[in-house]
Amino acid sequence: MTDDRPPRSKGPFGPLEMLDEVQRQAFEAALRVTAELSSLGGGLADLSWLRDGARASSIDAGAGPDGAEPIDVGRLRADVAKAADTFADLLRAMLDVGFDAMDELARRGGARPVGAASPGGVAEVRCTVRNDLHAANGLRAHVPQLASVDGVVLAAAAHVDPERFDLQPHERREVCVGVPVPATARPGRYHGLLLVAGLPDAAHQITVEVAAPAAPEGPDDGD
């Protein structure tokens, strides 16, 4: 059965597919080295191929052939292992830079979430809660109160959906804040904070804009 679905876009992670080819080549190179050593068979105890290589290098450097030292296999092995570790560390560091940049962009708040409703209606505000800590279970989101800049409190009990949820490290979740606007509410903008019990650093600014009630329609002039 063939999958006719179009391939899913990987966004900025698309180039990581090239790592599969790099890893394959590195694996094949390691296999070739292993095969070369295995092919020596019983002649592996004869290290003349190492000493000859060291002697040739010494002669090229101007040293006398009699003073040539055999190649230190242990040191050669350590150097190769160090080179492999350095490549892995470099790759990890480069990816960390990219993820740190993404994390910083995610931290920057965009426009403050705003919900609007007329008196007697329900304003909805959507916020994204992010967990920077360890796995957190049984979190509870709530909005203590909403107030205008001149201190007028909106007499409304905001409810959050979902009110309780769990978040893994660096996980995000969208919650919806519903604010039933009283019929007697004064028009204007009311501000508050969405707090999350269990995440001490989570405080999201929200705004509810209460519209002016519609003016009643008067009698027609022709009546």
pLDDT in tens, 200-214: 888 889 999 999 876
Q: How many residues does the chain have?
A: 223
Q: What is the Cα–Cα distance from 207 to 125, expressed in whole angstroms?
A: 8
The domain defined by 114-210 folds into Immunoglobulin-like (2.60.40)
Banded model confidence at residue 63, pLDDT cuts 50, 70, 90: very low
Provide the pLDDT for residue 58: 47
pLDDT in tens, 113-163: 889 999 999 999 998 888 877 888 999 999 999 999 999 999 999 999 999
pTM of the model: 0.50
Q: Give the DSSP letter of residue 43.
A: G
Does the pLDDT of residue 219 top 80, yes or no? Answer: no
Provide the pLDDT for residue 43: 53
Q: Which token pair is 86?
A: 């350095």
Provide the pLDDT for residue 151: 92
- Mean of per-residue pLDDT scores for the chain: 77
Provide the pLDDT for residue 178: 95
